[in-house]
Amino acid sequence: MLDIQKQIDYWVKGAEEDILTAHLLIREKRTLPGLFFCYLTIEKVIKAHVVMKIGNEPPQNQNLTDLSETAELEFDDSTRLFLGILMKFQLQGQHPGYDPIIPEQPKVIVYFNETKDLLQKLKMKLVRS
């Protein structure tokens, strides 16, 4: 039988590790990999919500919008827009021919901070549920 809490903890721990990796990469101006790790951070914490919702391992799906719907997470318009932005940086990791426009460093810092904030909000929702 699947240990649901163990699965949730696995995904949250991975998200926490990935936000640290994102920070290190962005600090070193390795922007694209840093933003990819921002994406991974949110994917993993949403997958923790999926596990909690469905009581099983999450699907092998990397689409943040689809995963959010599976988890029945509701986001405001700005957060949904941000999820779309993060997915642009996930595509580069999955499709080598995809070449996203890399934002200037001040915008990268904004994206990183938004990722940290969303991670904390989603972790808090796990605790309250």
- Please state, in angstroms and rounded to a whole number, the distance separating the CA atoms of residues 57 and 27: 33
pTM score of the predicted model? 0.93
Give the per-residue pLDDT at 94.
Answer: 59
Give the per-residue pLDDT at 105.
Answer: 95
For position 11, which CATH number holds? 1.20.120.330
Structurally, how many domains does the chain consist of?
A: 1
Give the per-residue pLDDT at 34.
Answer: 96
Domain region containing 79: 4-128
- Burial class, 19, CB count within 10 angstroms (exposed 0-12 / middle 13-18 / buried 19+): buried
DSSP 53-116: HHSSPPPS---HHHHHHHHT----HHHHHHHHHHHHHHHHHH-TT--PPPPPHHHHHHHHHHHH
Q: pLDDT tens, position by position, for the chain (129 residues)? A: 679 999 999 999 999 999 999 999 999 999 999 999 999 999 999 999 999 999 999 989 899 999 999 999 999 999 999 999 999 888 655 566 777 788 999 999 999 999 999 999 999 999 866
- Please state, in angstroms and rounded to a whole number, the distance separating the CA atoms of residues 36 and 70: 22
